[in-house]
Amino acid sequence: MKLKKQVTVCGAAIFCVAVFSLYLMLDRVQHDPTRHQNGGNFPRSQISVLQNRIEQLEQLLEENHEIISHIKDSVLELTANAEGPPAMLPYYTVNGSWVVPPEPRPSFFSISPQDCQFALGGRGQKPELQMLTVSEELPFDNVDGGVWRQGFDISYDPHDWDAEDLQVFVVPHSHNDPGWIKTFDKYYTEQTQHILNSMVSKLQEDPRRRFLWAEVSFFAKWWDNINVQKRAAVRRLVGNGQLEIATGGWVMPDEANSHYFALIDQLIEGHQWLERNLGATPRSGWAVDPFGYSSTMPYLLRRANLTSMLIQRVHYAIKKHFAATHSLEFMWRQTWDSDSSTDIFCHMMPFYSYDVPHTCGPDPKICCQFDFKRLPGGRINCPWKVPPRAITEANVAERAALLLDQYRKKSQLFRSNVLLVPLGDDFRYDKPQEWDAQFFNYQRLFDFFNSRPNLHVQAQFGTLSDYFDALYKRTGVEPGARPPGFPVLSGDFFSYADREDHYWTGYYTSRPFYKSLDRVLEAHLRGAEVLYSLAAAHARRSGLAGRYPLSDFTLLTEARRTLGLFQHHDAITGTAKEAVVVDYGVRLLRSLVNLKQVIIHAAHYLVLGDKETYHFDPEAPFLQVDDTRLSHDALPERTVIQLDSSPRFVVLFNPLEQERFSMVSLLVNSPRVRVLSEEGQPLAVQISAHWSSATEAVPDVYQVSVPVRLPALGLGVLQLQLGLDGHRTLPSSVRIYLHGRQLSVSRHEAFPLRVIDSGTSDFALSNRYMQVWFSGLTGLLKSIRRVDEEHEQQVDMQVLVYGTRTSKDKSGAYLFLPDGEAKPYVPKEPPVLRVTEGPFFSEVVAYYEHIHQAVRLYNLPGVEGLSLDISSLVDIRDYVNKELALHIHTDIDSQGAAPTVSEEAPPPGQLLPHASHGLYPGRTEAPHAAHCPGPGCL
């Protein structure tokens, strides 16, 4: 009421000042003694006097406007700092539940269907191949196909090429994993640097030779260690087309676990490196080893101006079907694309692998005889017991006929008479002898083919783009355009199986701790890049660049490359050896620590009102981060803010490009805490205990949760004070269900706590949008009902256990091979349930022996109030040969569509959601929080 009176009085003052000022101006004009009353006709000598009067009047109006503006500002300041109730002050209803009043401004906006391309479907040409439909129609019967075990016998008429020669491009390549059996550095030292060094010398020996490379991460490391002359030679090889860098990403990324942000980031990092150092722009994509393929990657490659791409690891039944229908080459289109703007031409390799025995044709026993690294006396041989033979004048006709038969059979699977034959494998060409063996013997075969027109074949070494260019030329279209008669496909190629029932789905959850750490690093990289850009730009513009640590850009570059490296298909997948995983983890943690320093430096600079006072001191940071990790394999430890007589300040940063209203949770050492906004307005907060186990609260540590609104790409400041505000410091209440277990329970006078020894009745949590029911026995979800709907949606959650087979093929980092149907998880003891209810959030945590399951419901307006936050912490180190799975059974009718999982950001200030061991974590692009360690440091 007091505030309303003040606003009314000030408003009246504004009106009075405005009226009185106008009256004075009119009065001065009317009583001007020089003013003539002659019917409005002024003598010429008086025009200048009138102009002066008009200018004076304009000046008076301007002064009056400034006066009114000052008064308005005063009123707004008075309103902002008034000791009135904040907009988000919760209250209890009659039935004892918390209610948060609606905000005066919307928290989210509706989207018109016309604004979304996904709603436009059906207007353009529909693809001939839709992968959901293809998968539903295939029998997946795994019939033995003979020499091409997963295919079929191929026949041809020798006269098929009389009208048009078969054009063969043999593409030498070496697939270098940036970490797998060995670490990145060990691979480079022992193999990769030798491959690249030999490449330069061997390609220069004959201009007909070609080579394909894909991993820029290795190439950049090698580039930094070679001399100027060798760099010039590499540029010449790239310039004349002998060396092609395909895809151009920092790595060949996994396409199932990686987030699109990281996929784009590693692609940009690689492309920029190539442009800066080689002046090269990739044209074709090469992905022979990812374990299945997402439809996101072709979209990104097309947007990066690539026109063609190649893939290899596709389910063998799909390969067989596509080979039989001549659909191994197609235009890959997004499912929502109505005008073919996302199309990219894609080549699918037809056989089992990308090694030499499975690339020349359908018979690996024959193709292996043309892998001249396996010549007798070498370290590897052919498993089919027929070794290669060096090509001589005496045997070239016989050997050429044998190889040409494979080429012709393979070409029968495609729609053009241009044939691609990769020639390589993992870490190939690491010794000069292999270069010589492959190039000399194949060149003798090519010379024989090309000198005999009756064979109707032209063969040569080529790059991937050489092949695509020849195909486009043969079919009469521009590069990247759809050749006549070639199909259009939409969808993806998951899940992958290379034989029998060996589905490569184990890697979806292998080493999930590092999958989660990947998302944490990604979120910090995004935040650090935005903050650094803002701070560095301001410092340069203000002439303070000498004070600001612009050297932090190096830390950003290192972190981008670390994140890119971890997108490798043996890194984020969790399929590398243990020592390699440790190496990845150390790199991730080092970059995470560096990014936190970048964030601290930038936030320090940007939050200061007087930038002249900025002083960079790495030994005495102005801010501290919200959490720390003691090692690469440790969970984060939250910083506890020590409250005393001096206020503490917390700086929050929103890295998203839209405003967000979200919950910030911080740890403090006292339940007596007041939180003020940046303008000094008291905020309502929820105080909760901080638990170390199901029943034990951490002494002298409390969680304070406060809803905050942060501007897009903006900073916010909260002030924490020691003290109690009974209207706004609102404690949580806790119920603990022991289910008959004899456990001691921590109690605290600040929090209402009720211990229930036994109870199996279901219970519910609710907010303004939904009511969520839980099992009183298990603590897991049972159903959800929207308050505006009568129907209750079943969402029955169970923990299941898969065993593993006793045969030699077992589940592991790559494969998921259970021993049968999943069985319910039966713990040795019933779970302890802890139910927390408060004004801004409520949660249920179920503590089992091997898994802690938490479901949180936010009592907030907007997006967070419309969703459930589900997190799991799993420890199955003593659960040998078992796999835990979280199963959710619903009565939602998806009408055959695949379910979607939303990757929402966690609450601000929480840089890591509960480390998810066994569940795939979403992207953690949360606002970053840091607190001021000393009194009055802002």
SS (H, E, C) 864-929: HHHCEEEEEEECCCCCCCEEEEEEEEECCCCCCCCCCCCCCCCCCCCCCCCCCCCCCCCCCCCCEE
Residue ranges of domains in the chain: 163-498, 512-636, 640-730, 732-905
**Rg of the Cα atoms in the chain:** 35
Residue 72 has pLDDT above 80, yes or no: no
Q: At what angle do helices 2-30 and 44-81 cross, to 10 degrees?
A: 170
What digits encode the pLDDT tens for the residues 179-220?
Answer: 999 999 999 999 999 999 999 999 999 999 999 999 999 999
Tally Cβ neighbours within 10 Å of residue 778.
Answer: 21
Note the pLDDT of residue 48.
58
Which alpha helices (DSSP H) does 360-504 contain, by range? 364-367, 396-411, 432-450, 464-475
Structurally, what CATH architecture does the domain formed by 163-498 represent? Alpha-Beta Barrel (3.20)
Note the pLDDT of residue 107.
55
Taking every pair of Cα atoms in the chain, the longest distance, rounded to a whole number of angstroms, is: 124
Residues 6+ apart with CB under 8 A from 387: 369, 374, 375, 376, 381
Active site residues: 289
What digits encode the pLDDT tens for the residues 581-603?
Answer: 999 999 999 999 999 999 999 99
Q: How confident is the model at residue 173 (pLDDT cuts 50, 70, 90)?
A: very high
Residue 879 tokens read as: 């659960």
- 344-348 and 308-311 as β-strands: parallel, antiparallel, unpaired? parallel
Q: How confident is the model at residue 346 (pLDDT cuts 50, 70, 90)?
A: very high
Same fold, 163-498 and 732-905: no
Note the pLDDT of residue 124.
53
- The domain defined by 640-730 folds into Immunoglobulin-like (2.60.40)
Q: How confident is the model at residue 57 (pLDDT cuts 50, 70, 90)?
A: low
Residue 21 has pLDDT above 90, yes or no: no
Note the pLDDT of residue 17.
43
Structurally, what CATH architecture does the domain formed by 732-905 represent? Distorted Sandwich (2.70)
Whole-prediction pTM: 0.85
Residue 3 has pLDDT above 80, yes or no: no
Residue 904 has pLDDT above 60, yes or no: no
Note the pLDDT of residue 378.
86
Note the pLDDT of residue 125.
64
Q: Which residues in 123-150 are b (16+ Cβ under 10 Å) and which e?
A: eeeebebebeebbeeeeeeeeeeeebeb
Q: What is the mean pLDDT of residues 322-345?
A: 95
The H-or-E segment that residue 458 falls in is strand 457-461
Q: What is the mean pLDDT of residues 893-916?
A: 39
Q: How many residues does the chain have?
A: 938
Note the pLDDT of residue 897.
56
Quick one: 512-636 is in which CATH superfamily?
A: Glycoside hydrolase family 38, central domain (1.20.1270.50)
Q: Please give the Cα distance from 252 to 346 (Å, whole number).
A: 16
| Percent of the chain topping pLDDT 90 | 68
Note the pLDDT of residue 106.
59
Residue 209 tokens read as: 């030779």
Would you call the peptide bond into 495 cis, given omega within 30 degrees of 0 as the criterion? Answer: yes
Residue 47 has pLDDT above 70, yes or no: no
Residue 53 has pLDDT above 80, yes or no: no
